[in-house]
Amino acid sequence: MQNVLIGLGCGLAVALIVFIVLMIRLRELKASSEKEKDKLRQMLAARMELESEGLNKLKSENEELRKQNENLRISMQTYAQKPGRKELQRLNVYQKAVDRLIINSPGFGAAWQAALKESEDEFEKTYVGIQAFVRRLIPTKTDAQIIEIEDKQNKE
């Protein structure tokens, strides 16, 4: 019976040592898992903070771009209302129409270029020489003035 008690005591001692070693390892494992969990929490908090800052930055940039867009829209409307803009737009429309006619009508291009050249030469002459001097002294009637005079004569 004494052998049984010695065997039981040795078995309990070994079991107690194994139990203590396992408890120490379990504590170390818990501590390392807690450290890992805290590290992951810190990483998650840092990432969320960075994403939050990035989102706030994008929102502020988006708002700034909206303001710039509105300012540009107002500037464009103001620019479109300036004197001479309507005439420039009309000239642009005329230029597109002339380009289409040149492409679509085979005989129009040559006639247009000749008429354009004559008009440019005549316009150049109005600034130099005797013709310019005469035009300043004697106002010439334009086609619009001739039409008005003819309309007045027809009414009478």
Q: Which of 82, 107, 142 is the last residue of a domain?
A: 82
Opening angle at CA 121, ends 115 and 124, nearest 5:
140
Q: Which of 82, 110, 133 is the last residue of a domain?
A: 82
- Judge contact between 101 and 108, C-beta under 8 A: yes
Residues 63 and 92 in one domain: no
Residues 60 and 97 in one domain: no
Indicate yes or no: pTM above 0.75.
Answer: no
- CA-CA distance, 86 to 80, in Å (whole number)? 8
Instruction: Give the tens place of pLDDT for each residue, 9-53.
Output: 999 999 999 999 999 999 999 999 999 999 999 999 999 999 999
Burial of 52 (0-12, 13-18, 19+ CB in 10 A): exposed
Helix (H) or strand (E) holding 47: helix 2-80
Residue 86 has pLDDT above 80, yes or no: no
Q: Say how many domains are in the chain.
A: 2
- CA-CA distance, 14 to 156, in Å (whole number)? 138
More confident residue, 124 or 134: 124
Residue 123 has pLDDT above 80, yes or no: no
Q: Which domain holds residue 16?
A: 1-82
- Judge contact between 97 and 104, C-beta under 8 A: no
Q: Which of 43, 59, 82 is the last residue of a domain?
A: 82
